[in-house]
Copies of this chain bind each other. A is one copy, B any other.
Amino acid sequence: MHTLDELGQLFSQKFSVNHFPDQPQGLYEPNNYFLSIGGKRIRPLLVLMANELFGDIHEDSWKVAFALELMHNFTLIHDDIMDDAPVRRGKATVHELYGASTAILAGDVMLIRAYQYLNQIDISYLRVINEIFNQTSTEICEGQQYDMAFEERTDVKLDEYLKMISLKTSVLLAASLKMGSIIGGASVRNQDHLYQFGLNLGIAFQIQDDYLDCFGDPEKFGKMIGGDIKKNKKTFLAIHLQNVANETEKHELQQLKSATEEKKVERTLAIMKNNGVDQWAWDLKQEYFNKAMYHLEEIAVISARKKELKYLAEFLISREH
């Protein structure tokens, strides 16, 4: 078995090949650029680690890991156009650098390249892996659609937000683990526990992300506090605040929409603390993290093999705090 660091290095080495031909340069250079700006490569690592829970890493896990990383990057390129985001990972986004038309097409061909890697795996599980891949990509698109639709609404409920976040981010973590476990030869029961592990971990991670934006240590968090509040973004904390604030507070929150950014952040955080929203979010994150760990526990392999997955989960969830 490999440590998380070893797998990270191995993947990084294997993945640093040309995934695209040279021509047409106008199409493939943007993709090479976007892949070169990196990322945490969490999804491929989950494939490899899930495979290794049950046996040696099979060549097909690398193919699936490539496919999932490319598919993830396809969603990022297209999401950045839709969100009109000029920067990702500190670098210019594809549409910012090459225009929206090229970014649409570059994303399209990135997804198709993912399918080309998938199509190289052993025929015995080709259909089932394709099925999970298709289902998951569809869900990610649905999640993005809900996310955009929620921006226009003021009455988004917590369970709707939870569903959106699950679709937009968690299902891919879950699916990565499940695919790796299938290649590793896991039983259906173990596959399902890994899927649930990933799903709940993803939700815990998102709650933490929303929490840190409000209550993180700016020095450790690496960005300014209150970015979501400034943009009136829907988050676990913002939606819960609407549920628990009293009428006076709701009135103030409404007024704050036209206040200076500084004041808006300061007062919103104060009202959140008044209502214990910080503690609520912390507990909710812990609840999903515990669910994730329960499913990891339930997987029928000796616990020594689970060490690295547990380490990764704890690393993701104790981030910057």
Pair B138/A105 contact, Cβ less than 8 Å: no
Q: How large is the interface on A (under 10, 10 to 19, 20 to 34, 35 or more residues)?
A: 35 or more
Chain B residues positioned under 8 Å from A102 (CB to CB): 145, 148
- The quantity of this chain's copies bound in the complex is 2
Chain B residues positioned under 8 Å from A82 (CB to CB): 100-101, 104-105
Name A119's closest neighbour in chain B (CB-CB): B130
Measured in the bound complex, the distance between the Cα atoms of B144 and A126 in whole Å is 30
Chain B residues positioned under 8 Å from A101 (CB to CB): 81-82, 148
Give the interface segment out of A106-114, A183-191, A255-263, A297-305: A106-114
Query: Does any Cβ of B come within 8 Å of A116's Cβ?
Result: yes
Chain B residues positioned under 8 Å from A81 (CB to CB): 100-101, 104
Instruction: Give me the 8 closest cross-chain CB pairs, A-B, nearest first.
Output: A82-B101, A27-B145, A109-B141, A119-B130, A24-B145, A116-B134, A112-B137, A26-B149
Chain B residues positioned under 8 Å from A27 (CB to CB): 141-142, 145
Pair B24/A146 contact, Cβ less than 8 Å: yes
Pair B109/A119 contact, Cβ less than 8 Å: no
Query: Does any Cβ of B come within 8 Å of A17's Cβ?
Result: no
Residue interface mask A125-159, B partner, CB < 8 A = 1: 01100110010011001101110110000000000
* Residue from A81, A113, A145, A148 whose CB has the most chain B CB atoms within 10 Å: A145
